[in-house]
Each structure stands twice: as structure tokens, then as C-alpha cells.
Structure 1
């Protein structure tokens, strides 16, 4: 099904009115940190604390007053802003993956949009099984839907957390537990809550430079944050960051490209494809946090703006075997006649075809190129070419609200948020083959836009019922609207030129532009109502019960619930457990997604594969069906031990999911189906030999163990020293795959990716030290073995081994307000195992490596506080 064209006047007006209102309020509002504690009804409403003691206060996972991690019934990781800053990358997703072992982020080279908008996974589940909050409020999805990111993330639509400037953060709290009943749909694996800096005054200006040991990947960053009090009760804090990063190339020359160079072909790029990390330019992130006591409550607002340009390579187009571009599929060079009706035939056509590899092929191609009105792609790219994929992202988001006390002890929080995330796709160094000599080499291929609005009312009241603590009754309502829009590209990116009937493919070769027939919007609304109860019947026992009802305009109704408990056997030792149900409703974008991907055939040939909507008639003909929600049941149980000399938590988790969303296996596209797709507006169908679609097709069980421990090393004099360690074991199992079932939509390769693409074992151990003048850390990271199907090909499987890397940083303060630090990640320059298939496409290392591809990276950072 195509996207319905046109925009709703009322919804367009809602955005145009709400967005300036939200961000405008953010520019004038101010607040007091003390007042925030009065709004404990909402997890977002509680000040996480600015003191050392406050740094360990949990506000995520419970709607009661903030408390320590040892007093909550579910595991929560608390990551301070200082921990995030002790790394070379300005990307908060990179920063988190080194300190939270259950969280994974891959580099995704040669993955188009997913190389720059990298999806984050928690506990081995899909990226959109984790709910992201900013100050406790739902954060918007990005407009990206991966289709070539190694398998696990394919088909997901999740937030882009890299747009959040890390300098604007106070801390990040990661709830590793199902929480859909508490926070809403998507919180199956857990919740990541970004808590922003609300210091009333003071500032920091910081700059950093980093580079890899190989001398590439240079990254420059300048960031600052500044808060000013307003009156006696408020503050405004502005934060901003600018960064730029060069490519870090980890590639070898492809075998076929090397053979062309040896044969004397000119213009062969070397390396043919630059696998590695992308080039990022003009990466701007702005954030504002503010509030003011207005008598009837606290009026607050926060929001941000981000923009950047990311550039990565696509796969190399070989000049002797790229059918529809250079060759005709029958072993001949493809020659086109730009004036087919003038009665003059071009040399190299018909019976005069030029066989690839013939002794006189170069001379005859030169004759074609020299003949007016005749065209061969070799005239533009004699040595082949690698298209450059450019993704420009712009996003704006904001929330404004009022919270306080309606009646004695009755807390409320009323808020409204709006967001717009736009990614615009450009491809350079490419061609629309059907346009021949009229084709440009730079294209605008269209845009995808994700827009959301969220309104919340949260209430909380502590009711005395004779228990050790009052029964905290929290409840509320949420309205959420999201719209996914596709904007058409320029005509040259999708239109059929004069050579379309002469064997040349239609549309820009690497990523065909969105045509007007595909462009349009799809949207939905949902309402949810929740009730959350928590109390201590006796002092040692904490019990919680939450339930939520959600109604979707496209999927109907759903009820989720969660029960939780924590029992303190002694003051130091406790046991805790939760049971929760959850679900994820496929977004409008997932329902409507259309795009191009790549796959390797059994003989190693790279072919295009098209992604079409699940409710397209062609998908329906082979077993596809309208998407439906994914559902989950999760159980956790753990131990908590807390003494001044040791804090340790051990938690087991088990998550069973049904109707999981995935990419189907590939299906061959017949000529009739291809013509039908083209007629529907999918011009890229002329390029593809196979097609896939997203589908609810399997069940899975995810289980594992998390261990987190902290030991203060008080015997070390002069300052504070601590040892901390964290370990995660996660096992994913597809429980419904039946290769003997003729209606099975999964294939063996997809199952392997889902089960084994991420390492089962992840861990780190860190020693930190700080004193008046010096600070430092040493961290060891462990990445277990995993399986890669290179560029999603079952025939190119290999199993890289486990790896250990070390990070270190040392900093000193020559002046009271000046801090200078130097450090490195992967200080011994350990790399993933070499890719045994690197000669096929040029990737030196496994593209899905959880430790990254760049190797050792050093950095220097300087910061001035005021």
C-alpha cells in the first residue's frame, strides 16, 4: 500500500502552532531545583540531585520519591556526565556503549542511513524495544528504518539519541526491565532516561581533539553549557556542541578492482569502497533546560535542535559486470542511443555488440564514446565508481509543562511536547543510467520526516492505609500522535530516460529517489491511561503494581501490566523480582517503508533487493500480511547487597516475545510483478531482482544475567578511588523457526543474525581516582565471540573471537577552574579478527564488530569552569 498523499490541515496547523510555542516557552522559562522535588509523581519531575549524594538517586522505574539504586525493585544503571565525557567520541551512543554492557551500538559501515543514525540495542532486542525518555518524557523516533544494518536492527524505527549533546546532561539512567505499563509502548527491553543538567548557575566551556593511531578519523569538538538564575526561583541553562569528524577507513582493495588495475583500467578507486567510520560535518547540537515557580506550580520547558551531514560510501560498481549500468546481462557492454529515432544506429549495439573481455573492447568503447548521441557509462566512469551516500539530518524537539500541588499531597504534572525529525538523502558520484549523457552525477533523492506530538497528565497521591509507608497512587493519561512523511526527490533521481527501453536501469543507481507516487504521509493517534500503585506493607517489603490501557487508531486496544517486589532480608541484603507484559505497535513508518538494499548471491555477486510495504499486493501474494503489534512477557529476579565497602546487584531476566517484526526472506521478482510495482510508482523496481518486506513472523526468548558491583578503595590515600565492574550475559533464541514449513518467511541467515550477531558476553571493569588536582581512570572492556554473516550473506559466515580492550585517562588542574585531560580508548590498538572474505567487497574487519572498527584512538580535552 502506498502512503496516502496530502497532509491534514488541522495537524499541520497543530505542528506549526505547537512547535514555536514549545520552543518559545523554553527561551523564557526558569525554575528552582528545590521545587522539582515536590513533583515526585512523575519520574521526569524529580531532580536527580547535583551533589555527590544526589548522583546516586534513582528517578526512573518508580513514581515514588527518588531513592537509591538498592531500594528499587528493578535494576537501574546510573551513568554520570563525567563518565560519558571520559571518551573521545562526541556521540552519546558511543559513550554509553562502553559503560553499559547490556547496551550495544555497531558502526554499520556501508549501511546508508544507518551508518550515521546508528540504532541502539538493549539486552539483545530490537532498537525500538527500548523506550527513550528525556527528563522522563517520551523522546521522538527518528525517520530512519534500517534495512541493511547487520540483521538485528533491520525494520526497526527508534530514536536517534546522538542528537542529544552530552554536555547538557546531568546523568543517564538505564532501567533494565520491562516497563510498558509504567511508561507506555516500546519499553520491552527497558528504558533509557536522559536527565538534563538543571544547575541554577555556572558554566563550562570544553574543547576536545581525537585521532586514531592510524592518523585518520580526526574529530574536533567544542561544547559549552551555561546556567543563569532568574529572579529568586528560576534558571535558564543553555548548552551547545559543535563537532566534525573525518573518515576512519578500515578497508582493503577488492580483488576484482585490483584485477582491473592490473589490467590497465584507469580511474579505479583505491580502496574501491571505504569501509570504516563515516565523515560527519557541521554536527550542531543545542539544548535548553528551564523553569520557573509561577505560584500555582512550576512552569518548565526543555528542548533542542540538531543538524549534521553524514557521508559514507556505497558498494563499488564494477565497469565489466554491473548489469543495467555498464553491461547488458548477456556478457556485452551496454551501449545506448540518445536519439533512437534518427535512423542512425550506434556502434556496439545489436549484432555489433562489444563482448566484455574482447581484445578490441577498449578501442570499440572509445569509438562509442566519441560518436555523438551514443552513450556508454564508461564515458563517465571508465574504472567503475562507488557512490557517496549523504544524509542530512535536522531535528527540533521541545516539551513545556506545569507541575505542582493541586491539593495537599496531590501532585500533578501537565505537559505537551512536539518534535520534527527530517532526514534528506543525497547521492553523489553516481548516475541514473536511463538518462545517459543527460544524467547528473549528484542527486537529491528525497526526504523522510517523522513528526510527533505528546500530551501528558500525571497525578500522584500518597494515601495512608496503615502500612509502613503510604500507598502511593499514581495515574494519568497520555495522547500521542505520530506521522511519517516521504518527500519526493528531484525528477532525475527516479525518472525513466530515453535509454530505459534499451536495457538501462531507471533511477539513480545506488538508492533510487522517491517518486511522487510513493510520496505522502501515514499517521496514527493513540490514547493511554495508566494506574501505578506502590507501597511498603511492612518496612522490609516494597510492592508495586502498574497497569496501562492503550488504544491505537490503527491497531485497536491493548492492556499491559507489571508487578514488582523488593524484600530486604537484612538492612544490607535484599531480593527483588518483577513480572511485566509489554508490546510494540509498528509505527506508521514501518508500515509504509519502501527502499533499496543489497544482498550477495551464492556466487558472490552483489544484487539490489527492494523493500516494499507489507500490505503491498505483491507481498500479500507470497504470505505477507498487514503488520500487527509485537507482544512480550518478561520476568526478572535478583539480589541486592549494599554496604559501605561493597555494593553488588545480580539480576536474571527472561523475555518471551511473539509476533516479532523482521525482514522476510528474499523473493524473486517476476517481470509481471516488476511492471506492477513500476505502475504503482516504485520506479526502482526496474533495478531489483528480489524483494523483501517487513513481517510479524516469529517468536523468541531472550534471557540472561546482569552483574554490577562497586567497591570503594578507601585504603588509597589522597583522594577518592573506586573499583567498579559490570557484566552482561544475553542469549537470544528464535523459538518458532521451521525451515520445513513452506509458509515460513524467515530464512536461516536471518535466524543466525538474530541469535548470534551480538556477543552473548559483555563486560567492563574500571578503576577511577579523583583528588583536588588529579583524576584518572583505567577501564578494561570485554567483548565475547559473535557471528557475522558478511553483508547479510549466509554463504559468507564467520565467527570472530572474543576481544579485550583497555581505555585510560589522566587529567590535572593547573588552575582551580582549568582541567586538562589526555586519554585513549583501545590503548593497545587491539582490532577485531580479520575478515576472511575481505577481498570480495573490501571490508578489512567484520562490519558488525561490537568493539568498533577504528582501533586505538587518543584524545586531549580541556575545560574551563566559571
Structure 2
């Protein structure tokens, strides 16, 4: 089965292909396996824990029989923990997968980026039921250096209760699945039971007494006639924010000077507030007879997430409170054509001149935002994420053992931004305090046709031939914000900034729909010359309408040395196509700099200003992957060790901020970009550096009987190190290079001990995080954080055949990362990119009812 799909414009050929698919699907609308009796379902549950379809188009293979490293994670590994976000769940069981909190990171706060094997979020291909999942509409403009500019799928929208198993292919697979599969592939298999109901509630809170959250989830299995199933999974969550801040030095100075209007803390570092988080997944299948099946699965999700931004100092914030760095307040003349002029308000020792301030406040023709926000303000930024998808397909056997799979997929992600407690300064006293800056939308469609044929040649043990074709369409849309969010008001020419401060709205001239189409063909051949020897080769050719063609290959092999030991190796080339959004997005963000808060524009690489700064049309990233490993399995002992090396050239990222000169700002203004006068710098997407990432993964599992129960010990160890081989020093700052090389722990490890009796069970887990580096606030403020060790613990009890409960704690020793030496600057007590998090201990309880 071809698990990748393509980007295509709605051309006549594409519409004909979709029509053909629709006709093929008309015989039945639903998913890959039919219903079984209880005994058969139990056997399938055991089987799904042991075999994977990733990396092969022949019969499924176990993790030890695969020629490439694959983790097969059972559903209970997700449900038996207190974590409530799929990203965090994956990170707890896959050490090479890293995720952090992303506070004050614009849209990245809404959809957190994650890193597999130290690479960018969009270097990992995500599948659901073997079908490529669409990207999120969010582009990570602020990604802590490692994820800057990435646009990947949002797996946090997948509820844990919907999962039957997760397969993680830790190897390059672009020749098999297409773009993005550089770091690896993650496949989420949805539950397919045709009967049974399960309800679950989780409730948790951090030891500090904040971050309280409750999650309600359910799974219902229904028969679809006596030959199919219809499975529904549901989750609803709400979560309070957390706060791990101290008072900023400048805010404290204001308070010490007598300003009683400053909040404490003026700026919050912590997890955002989730007002509502609703997720629905459907998975269904129908046996059509004669070896044919039909399938359907899809999702609908919506969530509203709100966090904070940087504090706006009432004396110094440029374009709002001051125009000269805090020597005087910025005062607007509301009647500039009259002869009267407004008084100058000098600031001395953090206190505006009270006499001049009173004169301005008494004069209806003069205005300063100090009147509205005497203690400054901190914008509240949020977004409503709406996500939906549907996959329809049919597969089966025809002719002489030829197997086919025809499918159509459509996915849509939209994020509608909002920002409160802020101003459009250029509008003066008429400025509202809440704005809707606009929305991003990502739409993806795909049509796939795949065939395969198992063979038994006389000169070999077995073989399998597969081939396929796909068409894809990607669309990225920018929706303009409400007028006040981008309006250049009457005070623009007096130095007041334009647009909703912190996140200006998208202007009508920036709005639009941008699309791309491509098609691909592939061939895949697997051969076992003997029972103990396996090899495969794959070749894939793709054609994109914006940058041309790319052809990639992969070879893998496995040798069963003895019954308990096998050796395996693989080599491949890969690529990642630049996204339509990366090619066309425009955005303005507020960055913390050594000179204070400054507005920074992200422009398309082909924009005249980008071209002036060296911008060129984006090309695909290219990679070469190598892996070498072994697998050992003897009775209840299981060991895999895999070494890897990934060379990526022409990597895509945002440039470091490129300062705008007065002449360049004037050029932007002359081109109609009126808010350019307040911009300090620009960034754009570029293919500007090469990296080599290498390391190894070790997995050790041992099971035995102890104290009358079942015991299991699992040790996972990962080492990942990235080296930047080449870069453009004009675009990439030294701090970003160090972040790419040291921003994640070189070593990560988990050691889990599980014990289960008839009704009582539990586990204890040790998590090790090596030292790491953070460029705090992206402002050349180095943090060298040390290694940390945390512990998780859980105890569970089955009260009845249907009812079970558990109580536990993540990080139950309440460990925190090293203190931030620069905490006084912006109030962050701890490094915000800490891979272990910086919230401290978290306790929870869970109840589960099944019938």
C-alpha cells in the first residue's frame, strides 16, 4: 500500500482521477479489516503488538524481522500514563522524540513542534492507518532554533483512546513514501473493534497547584452488518494555564519607582490555557467478499488555546509608549492641522513628568497610551484550531494474486488567530483592545493507486513486487484580519505603530490562496534468496509543478545469522519539498532583542526585499541515510541496536533576523507596505545550511515472573548528535548554529519497570536528559543547562471486571531544570526549551470503565 499522497491542482486530470476513485469507492465506504468474534479479536490484538506494515509492501513483519528499526508501541503504553497530549505520550516511550512547552512562541504555542532524531518536525512523515496525514496550517515562526519555519502535521489532535498501536520507523523512507520521510515515519493505527464500549476520565494537576486539567474520552465499537465495523473515538479536554515566572527587572523597577499599576508577574512563562479541546475519530471497514474490502476513516477536531506575549513597558515600548527609547513618552496630536502642539513628557528615573502628563490628559487634542495602560500591558494571544479529514478506499485481490489499493484522501487544517489586551497604536484613543488578525488554512488532497504481487520464484524463497501512482494537491490560504488589526490609523505619521501590537493582522493584499500539484510513481521489489536472507530495493520519481522533479532510491537487507540473532542495514536518498506556505507566507512577529522588543517581518523568499537580502526560490532539501543494526531475541529477552547517519543538504529554515536600513524601510513604504516604518528586520525561508546527524538507538526488553505476577523491564537509550557542515554566515547567526548542534540532549534514556498481578499493577520509570544549550530569547543569551533525572510512578487496580482505576505522578520527585541565569530580563525562571519541561511534578488519577 502506498502511504504517501501528492499535491495537485484541481486540474481536469485530477478531477477525472477523483471521479474514478469515487466510482470505485461507491461499492462500500469503509476501513481495512472486518469484524471478528471475541476470540479472533483477541488474537489480532496480540498480533498487532508484534508486526508492522511500515517499510514493506509485502506481508507484515515483526520488529526483529524488519530490515530497518521499527518501534511497535501498544495502546496501553499510551493509556497507562497521566500524560494527555499525544506528543508527550510519544516522547515518553521514544527517547529520540523531543517536545517542549513553547511558551510565548506565537502560533507554535497552539501547535507545538516536535523533533525526531534531532531533525525538524517536517522531516518526519506521519501516517494514520497507513495514509499520509495532512499538515497543520501553523508555520512555526518561533521554534526555538531547531524548528524555526517548520510546518508539520499536528499529532496532538489524535486522542490516545483512538489508538490500537503506533509504529515508528526510525529510518529514511522517502523512496517508499515520498517527501518528508527523512528522519523517519510514524504510523498511527486506529482501533477497529466492532463491539464494546469504553469510557475514561483523567484528572491531573501540577504540584504547584496550577495546570489543572480534566480529560473525558470514550470509544465505541459497532458492527457494520455482520461483515464490518464502525468504531468511534471521542475526547474532550480543558486545561488551566501554569506560571513559572518571576518579576521582570524592568517591571520591578517601575514598581520600585512608585508605579502601582504594574502586574506581578508582568509576563507569564508557562503552559497556555486550553478553553476547549474536542477530538473525534472514526474508523470503519467492510468485507465485500471475494477478497475485497472497503474502508473509511477520518477526524474532526477543534480547540481554543490562549497564551501570553511579552510585556509592553509603559515607558519604553517603541511605537506605543515611546519613540526615543524611553526618554520621553510618545504623545499624539489628534488635531495635527491646528497650531496647538502637545506638551513633551520627559521620563526621569522610570517616572513620566506628572505635570506634563496631567496637561496631556486634560487636553482632548492630545493622546498617550499611558492614559489607557499606565502599568503597561501584556497581549493575550490565542487561536482556534479546526481540523478535519476523510480517507476513502477499497482494496483486495484480483486476477492471479495481484493485490490493489485505491484511495482518496482530503484533509483541512485552519487556525484562526485572535489577540486581546493590546492596541493598534496608530488609531490612538479609537483603538480597540481585541483583534482578529486573520487565519491560515492548509488543504491537502490525494489520489493513490497501488498494486503488489507476492511471488515464489524457483530460485529463491520468496519475492514481492509492488508499484504505484499518486497525485497530490496542496493549498495554503491566508485570510485577511479584521480592519483594525492592520489599519494604518491617523497617528501613523507621528511614529505610532500600525496593526494589532504583537501580531498585526494580515492585510488584504497579503491574503490569497496558493497551491501546488505533483504526481509520483514508484516501484518496490523485495526478495528473500533464502529463508535467512532478505533484501529490498525501492525507486521513486516525483514531479512538482514549482521546482521540477526528484528521484530517490532505497536499499535494505537483513541476515538471520542464527535463530536468535540477525543483522540489518539500509541506505537511501531522500528529500523534503518546501511547503506552499513556506513559499508564500507573510507575517509580522514581535521579537525580543538586545535593543528591546522589535517587530520582524517574514516575507516570501521571492519578495523584492528578500531578494535584496539574498533571497532565492526554494529548492527541496536532499538527504542520504545510512543505518546498521542488529536484533537479538531469545525467549523473553529482546535487544535491538541500530546506528544511523543522516546527511541533509540545502536544509530549509528561516534566516536569522536581517536588519533593515532606513533606505530599505523607505523602499517598503513606497511599495505600499505602510507598517514597514516600524519594522527592524526581516527573515525569509532559505536553503542555507547542511547538517550531519548521527547516533544510535538501543532497545532492551526482558520479561519474567516475579512474586506471583508478570514483570517487564525495558531500557531505551538514544544518542543523537548533529553537526552543521556548511552554512551562509550572512543569514545564519552563530547562536543558531549552536542551537542546531546542542539544542537537544545528546543522550536520552528511559528505564521502565512494570509489575502486574491479577488485579493490581503499576510501573516506575526513570528518565534521563543530557545537558543542552539554549539561546535565551534568541538574543545571544547562552544557557548551558545540565543533565537531569526524573521519575514517573503509577499504581493501578481493577475493581471489577469492567472498572479499573489508577493513580500516579510524572516527575514525582518534583525536579526542575537548571535556573535561568538571565531570568531577570524577561522573567523566565527556567530555560523555556527544556526537554524535560519546566513545570515540576504532576499528579493524576484515571478511571476506566468497559463493557
Place the TM-score, normalised by the shorter chain, in its bin.
over 0.9
CA gap 1:390/1:864 in 2 versus in 1, 3 angstroms:
same
C-alpha separation between the residues in 2 aligned to 1:537 and 1:30? 34
> Which of residues 335, 341, 344 is equivalent to 1:345?
341
2:614 aligns to what?
Answer: 623
| Contact 1:125–1:189 under 8 Å retained in 2 | yes
Shift of 1:32: 4.1
Task: Give the 3 Å change call, closer, same or farther, for CA 377–9 of structure 1 in structure 2.
Answer: farther
Task: Specify whether residues 360 and 596 from structure 1 end up closer, same or farther in structure 2 by C-alpha distance, changes over 3 A only.
Answer: closer
> Does 1:638 pair with 2:643?
no
TM-score (norm 1): 0.93
- Residues 390-432 of structure 1: CA distance to partner in whole angstroms, max 9, x if unpaired? 1110011110100111123211110001011000110000000
Query: Is the Cα–Cα contact under 8 Å of residues 31 and 393 in structure 2 kept in the other structure?
Result: no
2:804 to 819, 826, 831: 819
Q: Confirm whether residue 710 of structure 1 aligns to residue 704 of structure 2.
A: no
Contact 1:269 1:383 in 2 (8 A): yes
Matched, 1:56 2:50: yes
Contact between 1:563 and 1:578, CA under 8 Å: does it hold in 2? Answer: yes
| C-alpha displacement of 1:622 | 2.2
1:862 partnered with 2:835: no
On the 8 A contact 2:179/2:576 being kept in 1, the answer is yes
Deviation at 1:669, TM superposition (A): 1.0
Aligned-pair distance for 1:467?
Answer: 4.3
Alignment of 1:148-159 (within 5 A): 148-159=142-153
Q: Per-residue deviation at 1:60?
A: 1.2
Matches of residues 603-618 of structure 1 in structure 2 within 5 Å? Answer: 605-618=596-609
For residue 772 of structure 1, the aligned residue among 727, 733, 758 is 758
> Superposition pairs for residues 106-505 of structure 1, below 5 Å?
106-295=100-289, 297-329=292-324, 331-346=327-342, 348=343, 352-357=344-349, 361-505=353-497
2:555 is aligned, of 563, 574, 580, to 563
Instruction: Tell me: CA distance 1:302–1:420, structure 2 relative to 1, closer, same or farther (3 Å).
Output: same
- Distance in 2, Cα, partners of 1:309 & 1:337: 39
Contact residue 502 and residue 589 of structure 2 kept, 8 A: no
Q: Does 1:732 align with 2:722?
A: yes
Q: Distance in 2 between matches of 1:193 and 1:830?
A: 33
- Deviation of 1:357 after TM superposition, in Å, equals 4.2
Partners in 2 of 1:369 and 1:836 — Cα distance? 40
How far apart in 1 are the matches of 2:31 and 2:743?
47
Partner of 2:735: 749
Distance across 2 between alignment mates of 1:384 and 1:248: 22
Q: Give the 5 Å matches for 1:546-557.
A: 546-557=538-549
State which of 92, 97, 102 in structure 1 corresponds to 2:91: 97
Larger mean CA deviation between 79-88 and 826-835 belongs to 79-88
Within 1, Cα distance between the matches of 2:352 and 2:663?
Answer: 38
Query: 1:345: how far off?
Result: 2.9
Seen in structure 2, the aligned counterparts of structure 1 residues 378 and 467 have a Cα distance that, compared at 3 Å, is: farther
Partner SS for 2:726: coil
* CA distance in structure 2 between the partners assigned to 1:311 and 1:14 by the alignment: 40
**Partner in structure 1 of residue 712 of structure 2:** 722
Which residue number corresponds to residue 76 of structure 2?
82
Q: Does the CA contact (< 8 Å) of 2:35 and 2:229 recur in 1?
A: no
Distance 1:483 1:261 in 2: 50
Alignment-derived partner of residue 5 in structure 2: none
Counterpart Cα distance in 1 of 2:777 and 2:26: 47
Q: What are the superposed Cα offsets for residues 191-218 of structure 1, whole Å, 9 maximum, x if unpaired? A: 0101100112112100010000000000
Deviation at 1:356, TM superposition (A): 4.9
Answer yes or no: is the 8 Å Cα contact 1:31–1:234 preserved in 2. no
1:73-98 CA-to-partner distances (Å, cap 9, x unmatched) read 01111111211122323210111111
8 A contact 1:517–1:681 mirrored in 2: no
Relative to structure 2, which stretch is displaced further, 323-332 or 397-406? 323-332
Query: Contact conserved, 1:726 with 1:764, CA < 8 A, in 2?
Result: yes
In 2, distance between residues paired with 1:751 and 1:327?
34
CA distance in 1, matches of 2:114, 2:27: 28
Match status 1:71 vs 2:61? no
* Contact map agreement 2:35 2:228 (CA 8 A) in 1: no
Rounded Cα–Cα distance in structure 2 between residues aligned with 1:409 and 1:213: 59
- Shift of residue 599 of structure 1? 3.9
Counterpart CA distance in 1 for 2:512 and 2:672 is: 12
Q: CA deviation at 1:344?
A: 3.5
Structure 1: gaps spanning 5 or more residues: 1-6, 37-46
Alpha-carbon distance in structure 2 between the residues aligned to 1:718 and 1:409:
49
**C-alpha separation in 2, matches of 1:183 and 1:670:** 45
What CA distance in whole angstroms lies between the structure 2 residues aligned with 1:75 and 1:389? 41
- Per-residue CA deviation, residues 420-457 of structure 1 (Å, 9 max, x unaligned), is 10001100000000001010000000000000001111
**Is the 1:30–1:233 Cα contact (8 Å) retained in structure 2?**
no
Cα distance per residue 1:483-521 (max 9 Å; x no partner): 001000001001110100111111111011100011112
Of residues 537, 544, 547, the one that matches 1:545 is 537
Q: CA deviation at 1:364?
A: 2.0
Going from structure 1 to structure 2, the CA distance change for 1:184 and 1:215 (only over 3 Å counts) comes to same
Whether the aligned pair in 1 keeps the contact of 2:315 and 2:347 (CA below 8 Å) is: no
Residue 230 of structure 1, CA deviation: 2.1
Listed one character per residue, the Cα deviations across residues 511-546 of structure 1 (whole Å, up to 9, x for unaligned) are 111000111121101111111111210111110101
Where does 1:663-674 land on structure 2 (aligned, <5 Å)? 663-674=654-665
Aligned length: 835
Cα distance in structure 1, aligned partners of 2:519 and 2:424: 45
Distance 1:681 1:476 in 2: 48
Q: How big is the shift at 1:598?
A: 4.1
CA contact (8 A) 2:572 2:625 kept: yes
Residue 188 to residue 48, structure 1, CA distance change in 2 (3 Å): farther
Between the aligned partners of 1:344 and 1:481, the Cα distance in structure 2 is 60
Structure 2: gaps of 5 or more residues: 1-7
User: Distance in 2 between the 1:367 and 1:323 partners?
Assistant: 22
Q: Deviation per CA, 1:294-329, whole angstroms, max 9, x where unpaired?
A: 236211000000100111110000011111110111
* Aligned pair partner of 1:849 in 804, 821, 834: 834
Give SS of 2:686's match.
Answer: strand
Q: 1:835 aligns with which of 820, 827, 834?
A: 820
* Distance of 1:166 and 1:359 partners within structure 2: 53
Does the 8 Å contact 2:173/2:554 carry over to 1? yes
| Equivalent of residue 793 in structure 2, options 805, 808, 812 | 808
Structure 2 partner of 1:44: none
Question: Residues 565 and 632 of structure 2 are in contact (CA less than 8 Å); yes or no, is this contact kept in structure 1?
Answer: yes
Q: Aligned partners of 1:285 and 1:467: how far apart in 2? A: 52
1:545 touches 1:562 (CA, 8 Å); kept in 2? yes
Residue 176 of structure 2 aligns to a residue whose secondary structure is: helix
Q: What SS class does the counterpart of residue 181 from structure 1 fall into? A: helix
Task: Report the CA distance between 1:293 and its aligned residue.
Answer: 1.8
Structure 2 CA distance, aligned partners of 1:531 and 1:71?
22
Q: CA deviation at 1:470?
A: 2.3
In the superposition, the TM-score normalised over structure 2's length comes to 0.95
Residues in 2 aligned to 1:455 and 1:570: alpha-carbon distance in whole angstroms: 43
Between the aligned partners of 1:681 and 1:173, the Cα distance in structure 2 is 50
Q: 2:9, 2:515 within 8 Å by CA — same for their partners in 1?
A: no
Distance of 1:723 and 1:617 partners within structure 2: 59
- How far the C-alpha of 1:468 sits from its partner, in A, is 4.3
Is the contact between residue 320 and residue 333 of structure 1 (CA under 8 Å) also seen in structure 2? yes
